[in-house]
Structure 1
Amino acid sequence: MAKILIVDDSSLSRRILKAILELEGHQIIEASDGIAAIELYFLEHPDLVTLDLVMAGMTGTEVLEKLISLDRSAQVIVASADLQTFTQKTVKQVGARAFINKPFVAAHVLEIVNAVLERGS
């Protein structure tokens, strides 16, 4: 399966998402902030990144912009509790492939992740 980098400052959110994705056999790498996420992205070369928007230091949008500027083919899914249409449109314009709402619903998460992975391969 895929190698997925989960970026979220909430350890609870990372654990929930990790549990969902591991059920499908995905290999999980975790980062709790933007700087670590960018470093891990280039060290580990994950197939996909899930990215929270609200984090201390670099925001998720800043991380997304940096990843896309350094690797136009980066497969990033934003995972956020922000339900505003404007936010979803903005991150997709920056380069996010999809948006997953929190709290996570396992079936929806897997559907979105699998769709993005299939498009990217």
Structure 2
Amino acid sequence: MARILIVDDSPTEMHVLKSMLEKNGYEILTAGTGEEGVETAKAEKPDLVLMDVVMPGLNGFQATRQLTKNAATADIPVIICTTKDQETDRVWGMRQGAKDYLTKPVVEADLVSKIQKALNA
């Protein structure tokens, strides 16, 4: 069973994503800030990180860059999951090392499909 780290500062979004993923058989780890997300990823080595962008402190783009540039976490795929739906945001997210980009509200089938794709890449 794949372990997924959800990094999101919104308790509501966290609950929605966690419910969707647990229903699909994933084990979930959570972090409420970018900093906590980076630390948790280093400590727990999840199979995948689902990263929000708009967070206080270290934002999701910065946290994604830290994870993908650090040798200890570089092999963990990151999927950005955010309300930011501009093409420039998508391009910037992918430049930070993200494997995929989803906009909220997420459709469960899309989320699971992108996770499967990233895990099997």
Normalised-by-shorter TM-score class: over 0.9
> What is the aligned partner in structure 2 of residue 53 from structure 1?
53
Greater than 4 Å deviation, 4+ residue runs: none
- TM-score, structure 1 as length reference: 0.95
1:25 paired with 2:28, answer no
- TM-score, structure 2 as length reference: 0.95
For structure 2, list consecutive stretches of 5 or more residues without a partner in the other structure: none
- Cα distance, 1:9 vs. partner? 0.3
Native 8 Å contact 2:4 2:29 kept in 1: yes
- Cα distance, 1:66 vs. partner? 0.7
- Cα distance, 1:42 vs. partner? 1.1
What is the aligned length? Answer: 119
Quote the Cα distance in structure 1 between the aligned partners of 2:34 and 2:95.
19
Matched residue of 1:9: which SS?
A: coil
For structure 1, list consecutive stretches of 5 or more residues without a partner in the other structure: none
Q: CA RMSD, aligned part only?
A: 0.9
Quote the Cα distance in structure 2 between the aligned partners of 1:45 and 1:4.
9
1:89 paired with 2:91, answer yes
> What is the aligned partner in structure 1 of residue 42 from structure 2?
42
